[in-house]
Chain A
Amino acid sequence: MTKQAQQQRTGLLQGTLDMLVLRTLLYRPAHGHQIGKHIQRTTNEFLQMQHGSLYPALHRLEQRGWVSAKWEMAPDRNREYKYYRLTDKGRKQLVVEESQWKQMAEAVALVMWPATEES
């Protein structure tokens, strides 16, 4: 990855990482490693999860009460992992962040790809 590409990716991630994590946890709880892998895989490896920002984000979300964490046995491995689970508050937050992101994306799109070119 070139340095420029790296910067682009981290720049993209900033502020949206919380939303991506919340969305990942929407249907099932997951531990840190799974969350990172899931985002990475779903975006076809475009978003490389950097653990340096993933764990701080997870703990920040936990502190704000948007996710709750619990040590639980993994179903496929005989070991405990710290599973994060979306709270009701987190669910609401996800809706808020999603609509904000949509507005942002639409606003950017209006500038970048106007419906009719001005003559």
Chain B
Amino acid sequence: MRWWQIKKRDADLERELRSDLELEEEEQREGGISGEEARYAALRAFGNPALIREQTRAVWSWNWLESLARELRLSLRTLRRTPGFTVIAILVMGLGIGANVALFTVVHGVLLKPLPFQDPDRLVMLYEWGLHENDAKGYTMVSGGMYAEWKQQNQSFSNLVLARGSRVGLSGSGGQLPEELDSGELSWDLLRTLGVQPALGRDFAQADDSPAASGTVLLSPSA
């Protein structure tokens, strides 16, 4: 039922109750009661119009939208009457929403957002899994020889590369204190496999990937 129909129905009931109440009042007056007294007598005989209105309205089947609107109006009125509670409730909800947004931002960045590389859905990470010392199970580091073997027998992937994160100490010259840096050791073709290129200078070349070659580094702006 549309809102204007509800309005019309409400007005209709209002009119019905009023006309019947007036009639009751007239009858009371004809019965010999005068003025204000007749009105009160009519109200007594008739009952509480507000209550009757409520009880009659309850007969009309409220659909969920109507009752929702009613509930909303009622809650707004209640909230306006208790500003202290309202402020606290809004603050608590605001904090809750804020915390959720912050958390989801992290989840989105870490788990949901695709990696900023070419074909991120085709990237996989391979591990070795096995026994450590004292029989603890876990991931183990892939040895160079194993990597060479995997690469040779590889049929499933377009390329295999090596990468290892590590922290290294960087000692300064002239009495400066050494610094610890986040770093990684990569096989030469890692960056081109990921489809990224250094902003400055050159990428590693196959010639760099040899014990005989001199050491080369790429610097990253963020640690």
Could you tell me which A residues sit within 8 Å of B by CB distance?
A: 31-33, 50-53, 55-56, 58-60, 63, 71, 77, 79-82
Quick one: which of A50, A52, A79, A80 has the most chain B CB within 10 A? Answer: A52
Partner of B47, one of A31, A52, A59: A52
**Bitwise interface map of B from 1 to 19 toward A, beta carbon under 8 Å scored 1, else 0:** 0000000000011011101
Cβ–Cβ contact B59 & A80, under 8 A? no
The number of residue pairs between A and B whose CB atoms lie closer than 8 Å in the complex comes to 52
Which A residues are in CB contact (< 8 Å) with B55?
52-53, 55-56
Cα distance A58–B57 in the bound complex, in angstroms: 11
> Closest B-chain residue to A61, C-beta based?
B59
> Closest B-chain residue to A74, C-beta based?
B23
Could you tell me which B residues sit within 8 Å of A by CB distance?
A: 12-13, 15-17, 19-20, 22-24, 46-48, 51-52, 55-56, 58-61
> Closest B-chain residue to A81, C-beta based?
B19
A33-B23, A33-B24, A52-B48 are contacts. A82–B59 as well, Cβ < 8 Å?
Answer: no
Cβ–Cβ contact B20 & A31, under 8 A? yes
Which B residues are in CB contact (< 8 Å) with A32?
16, 20
Which A residues are in CB contact (< 8 Å) with B60?
59, 63
> Closest B-chain residue to A32, C-beta based?
B20
Output the least CB separation between B87 and chain A (Å). 40
A79-B19, A81-B19 are contacts. A63–B59 as well, Cβ < 8 Å?
Answer: yes
Cα distance A55–B17 in the bound complex, in angstroms: 9
> Closest B-chain residue to A59, C-beta based?
B59
A-B contact pairs, 10 of them (CB 8 A): A32-B20, A33-B24, A51-B46, A52-B52, A52-B55, A55-B16, A56-B52, A56-B59, A81-B16, A81-B23
